[in-house]
Each structure stands twice: as C-alpha cells, then as structure tokens.
Structure 1
Amino acid sequence: MLELAILGFLAESPLPGHELRRRVSHLTGYTRPVSDGSLYPAINRLAKAGLLERRADPRAGAARYVLSLTEAGRADMLERLRKPAEHEITDHTRFYTVLSFLSLLPDLAEQHAVLRRRLAFLEEPASFFYDGERPMRAEEVTDPYRRGMLLAARATSRAERTWLREVLGEQPPA
C-alpha cells in the first residue's frame, strides 16, 4: 500500500520527498507509521522500475529532489486501483488507501467494481470472536471490552455498507 500511496500522491502533483512522507504519514501513519527506512527504499524501487523520476529542486539546494510520476507510473497506479489484491479489499487501512485515490481511475464502472468487491466482503458474516466455527454476535459476548469491539465494528460496517450502496445507487437487501 505504501507504493500505491506514493504513486497516488505523485499523480496529484510532483512533490519533494519530505512532503510525500508527510502526506503518506497523514494517510496511514496513525495505524501504520511510515519511516524513512520504508519510504525511501520504496521510492528507489519505483524509480528503478521507471514509475517515478527525481529532479533536483533548484529552490531547495542540490541535496533536495522533487519526485514526479512517469507515464508508466500512472499506468501502474491505475492498474493497482483497477485490480486491488484481496487483502487490499478486506483490510480497512489498505482499502482506505485504495479509496483515497480511486477517483483517479477515469472509468466509473471500474471504480464501482472495486466498491462492489468491498461491499461483498462487508456483507459476509464475520466476527473477531467465534464459538467453534460460528461467528459470535455482540449480544452473545459477556466480556464488556470484546462486546464493545463488536458493537463498534458493527456500527462502522453498517455505515460503510450504507455509504457504498448510496454511491453505487443500490438498495440494501431486503
């Protein structure tokens, strides 16, 4: 997801590395901190693959660079948005990274296909806790903290499913 965030932010505008780091950190940093040790190797991999380029920033001195997306980088980013991996649909933080840049995908039908995958995932019965193979509902859990987790997750999931159906122009199942 780090690479998609890098490509997505650079699709919006060229950025110096420190500003790119700040934006990526604001997007995912509260749950998955972004260190220089992960950001700059990712930038180097993307540059080596021809997906972004570095130019010296004459305003900031010789040691500073501005990063920009190449046409190959734009194509790669769009493909990542069209076909996110399953864990990018099911993991909340990863999905929000996809969602952050989904509007860059020019085809509304392709955007909606991604949203339908997320909606299908959210409509599957799930829980953090199980009774054997059966997912437990919040009302069945006696531990108040676990019940709180389930109630919060239920409310979040319900709100997201409502929003997804609204965007997709679909009615909830009867």
Structure 2
Amino acid sequence: MLELAILGFLADGPLHGYQLRHRIAHLSGHARPVSDGSIYPAISRLVSAGLLDRRTEPGSSAAQRHTLSLTDAGRCELLRRLREAGGLDVSDSARYFTILAFLSQLPDIAEQHAVLRRRLEFLEQPASFFYDGDRPLGAEDTPDPYRRGMLTIARAASRAERDWLRETLA
C-alpha cells in the first residue's frame, strides 16, 4: 500500500520526498508513521521500475532536494492497481482507505463502482472479531465490556459504510 500511496499522491503533481512522506503519514494516521527506511527504498524501486522520475534540485541550504513525479508508466500502474483492487485491498480497512483515497483517479465511474461493490460484498458477509466455533459473536454475546465495545463500534462503522456505499452506487 505504500507504493500505491506514493503513486497516488504523485498523480496530483510533483512532490519532494519529505512532502510525500508527510502526506502518507497523514493518510495512514499518526499511529502509523512512515519511516525513511520504508519510504525511500519504495521510491527507489518505483524509480528503477520507470514509474517515477526523480529530479535533483538545489535546496534552500547546502542539501539538494529530490523532486518526484509520476511517469506515464506510473500513471498506468496506479490505474491498474486501483482497477484491480480486491481481496485484502477491500477487506483490510487500512488498505481499503488507501484505495479509496485515490479511487477518483480512475476515469471510468463503472470501474470505480466495481471496486466499491467488492467492498460492499465483503461488508455484507457475517463477520466478527470473536467466534464461537464458526458462529460470529455479536456485542450481545459477550460479557466482556471491552470486547462488547469493539463489536459495537465495528457494527456502527460497518453500517455507516454500507449505507454510504449503497448511496454512492445508486
């Protein structure tokens, strides 16, 4: 998802590496800071693959700055990843939110809606954090107040998201 976020933010226009890292950290939430040890190797892989262009510019002090921009191949790769989002990309909330952040880059609304339908199908499956055998447990099934809280919050968020998805797809 880090590479998708890099491609997605650069689809909006060129950025310096530190600007990109800052935007990704905000997208991921402050609980998931993005380290230099993960973002810069990902950028290097994308540059090596011809998906990004890196241009060196003089910095305001002695250090040079690298401006990153998306290549045509990078834009094609971004669109492919968005178009084909499925599996963990729609079942894992953090991954899905990264997909959702850039889904408007897909020019075809039918392709956007196909991704949203895959998410809705996932959300409509019975699920829980806790199970009794194969039976998912609901908030009403557990005496533990913290597990009940987790389940209550998840149920409300899922309901709100399903409502939004149905409205968007209508």
**TM-score category, normalised to shorter length:** over 0.9
| Counterpart residue number, 2:13 | 13
What SS does the aligned partner of 2:64 have? coil
Corresponding position: 1:49 with 2:49: yes
| Counterpart residue number, 2:161 | 160
What displacement does 1:137 show? Answer: 1.1
What SS does the aligned partner of 1:57 have? strand
Q: Note the 1:103-122 alignment, pairs <5 A.
A: 103-122=104-123
Report the Cα distance in structure 1 between the residues aligned to 2:57 and 2:163, rounded to whole angstroms.
45
- TM-score, normalised by the number of residues in structure 1: 0.94
Report the Cα distance in structure 2 between the residues aligned to 1:69 and 1:19, rounded to whole angstroms.
15
- TM-score, normalised by the number of residues in structure 2: 0.96
Q: Which amino acid aligns with 2:106?
A: L
Q: Which amino acid aligns with 2:149?
A: G
What SS does the aligned partner of 1:54 have? strand
Identity among equivalent positions (%) equals 65
8 Å CA contact 1:56–1:62 kept in 2: the answer is: no
Report the Cα distance in structure 1 between the residues aligned to 2:17 and 2:54, rounded to whole angstroms.
10
Report the Cα distance in structure 2 between the residues aligned to 1:160 and 1:45, rounded to whole angstroms.
34
Q: Which amino acid aligns with 2:3?
A: E
Report the Cα distance in structure 1 between the residues aligned to 2:67 and 2:76, rounded to whole angstroms.
20
Report the Cα distance in structure 2 between the residues aligned to 1:119 and 1:36, rounded to whole angstroms.
35
Q: Which amino acid aligns with 1:20?
A: L
What displacement does 1:57 show? Answer: 2.1
Q: Note the 1:52-67 alignment, pairs <5 A.
A: 52-58=52-58, 60=60, 63-67=64-68
Give the aligned CA root-mean-square deviation in angstroms: 1.1
Report the Cα distance in structure 2 between the residues aligned to 1:58 and 1:145, rounded to whole angstroms.
53
Give per-residue Cα distances to partners, 1:62-106, cap 9 Å, x unaligned.
Answer: 621100000000000000000014111100011000000000100
| Counterpart residue number, 1:134 | 135
Report the Cα distance in structure 2 between the residues aligned to 1:162 and 1:29, rounded to whole angstroms.
24
1:62/1:31 Cα in 2 relative to 1: closer, same or farther (>3 Å)?
A: closer
- Tell me which stretches of 4 or more aligned residues in structure 1 moved more than 6 Å: none
What SS does the aligned partner of 1:166 have? helix
| Counterpart residue number, 2:39 | 39
| Counterpart residue number, 1:172 | none
Report the Cα distance in structure 1 between the residues aligned to 2:31 and 2:113, rounded to whole angstroms.
26
Structure 2: which 5+ residue stretches go unaligned? none
